[in-house]
Amino acid sequence: MFEPSSRYHSIEERELKTPDGRVITYKARRLVPPGESLPVLSEVPVKQGDRLDLITARTLGDPEQFWRICDANDVLDPLELTDVPWRRIRIPLPQP
């Protein structure tokens, strides 16, 4: 259903049977651990005009893994990480 690199790939699938007999498959809720509990690869300063996808590509090698950086910084909105120049953001160790 989801690519192996997706944040939802390893989340348990559940089923809901409706009163009319249909079965609806869905993913369980994704619970994010506190950012400080994730092992850190490095901390990087955000430069003027930086974008999170570029930071992620540079540090983790895949721009689509931006969600890992959001998790490590306890942020839901990725734009929060780059809206303040020179803010230091945590880059987590890549997880399998």
Of 48, 46, 56, 47, residue with least CA distance to 91: 56
| Structural domain of 51 | 35-92
Residues 42 and 23 grouped into a single domain: no
Number of domains in the chain: 2
Residues 21 and 8 grouped into a single domain: yes
Apex CA 38: angle with CA 37 and CA 40, to 5°?
A: 120
The pTM for the full model equals 0.79
Residues 88 and 43 grouped into a single domain: yes
The parts of the chain modelled with pLDDT lower than 70 are: 1, 96
Residues 62 and 84 grouped into a single domain: yes
Residues 22 and 57 grouped into a single domain: no
Question: Residue 77 has what pLDDT?
Answer: 93
Q: Which residues contact 22 (CB under 8 A, 6 or more apart)?
A: none
Strands 40-45 and 13-17: unpaired
Residues 21 and 40 grouped into a single domain: no
